[in-house]
Structure formats: C-alpha cells, structure tokens
Amino acid sequence: MKLNLLRSLGVAGLALVAVVALTGCISSKETVYREVERVKVEFENDTAARVFYDAFTRSPESHQRNEKTTTFTIPVIIHTQRTEKDSENAAFNAAVRRCDTNGDGKITEQEARIYAAQQK
C-alpha cells in the first residue's frame, strides 16, 4: 500500500515537473510613446528662431528621450516588460522652458543666443 502511494506521488511529481518544464513562459513586451502637445512659443524675430532651432537640433537633448522600463517576472510562468518613452515634443518643450528665461512665451534674440551658448 505504501509502495503504491509512493509510486503514485512519484508519478504525480514527475508529471508536474514535466508540465512546468514543457509549458512555455507567457511573455509580452510593449513600448509606449508618451505624446505631449508642443508648447506655443513666439520669437522676437527670424534670427531668434533660427538661433534657437539650430542650437536645439545640435543639443543632446533633442536626440535623447527619457525612458522608463518596468519589468514583472514570475520565473517559468510570466514575463512582461513595458517601456515608456517621451516624444520629441517633450524635449522641445523642455528646451523652450530653459530658453525662455522670463517665461513670457516669447523667445528674444538675446535669450536664444544665451541658450545656444549653453549648448556648446
């Protein structure tokens, strides 16, 4: 009787190990881009706009995006990964806030030149 019980437990344990080993892991990977609206900005003149845009396109922030990755894993059962990235507009908005030092929504030629000098 005990031998049959041990044999049954052994077979059940072996079956459980086989099910776990042969079952695939549920896996998902997702990338989400956080879109933000571009801030409205005016420029004092064409020179201010050109200086600002030239400096912005040369700056590292125009090419780098903030990124946040969240991973959740239960070994052998589930693995999920979600990555959130800022859009280009987020970098532009940050540059405008830094450049428009008095916060009036209008970038002067002087502000643009100061911003450009900071990007070198």
Residue 111 located in a structural domain: yes
Residue 19 located in a structural domain: no
User: According to the model, what pLDDT value does residue 1 have?
Assistant: 57
102 residue type, one letter:
N
Residue 46 located in a structural domain: yes
Residue 15 located in a structural domain: no
Residue 7 located in a structural domain: no
Q: What is the pLDDT of residues 61-95, one digit of tens each?
A: 777 667 788 888 888 788 899 998 888 888 899 99
What does pTM read for this prediction?
Answer: 0.62
User: According to the model, what pLDDT value does residue 120 have?
Assistant: 75
Residue 13 located in a structural domain: no
Tell me which residue range forms the domain holding 78: 25-118
Domains of the chain: total:
1
Residue 3 located in a structural domain: no
User: According to the model, what pLDDT value does residue 11 have?
Assistant: 54
Question: Which residues, at least 6 apart from 52, have a Cβ–Cβ distance to it below 8 Å?
Answer: 43, 95, 99, 107, 112, 115, 116
For residue 117, pLDDT beyond 90: yes
Question: Which residues, at least 6 apart from 66, have a Cβ–Cβ distance to it below 8 Å?
Answer: 85, 86, 90
To which H or E segment does residue 86 belong? strand 78-86
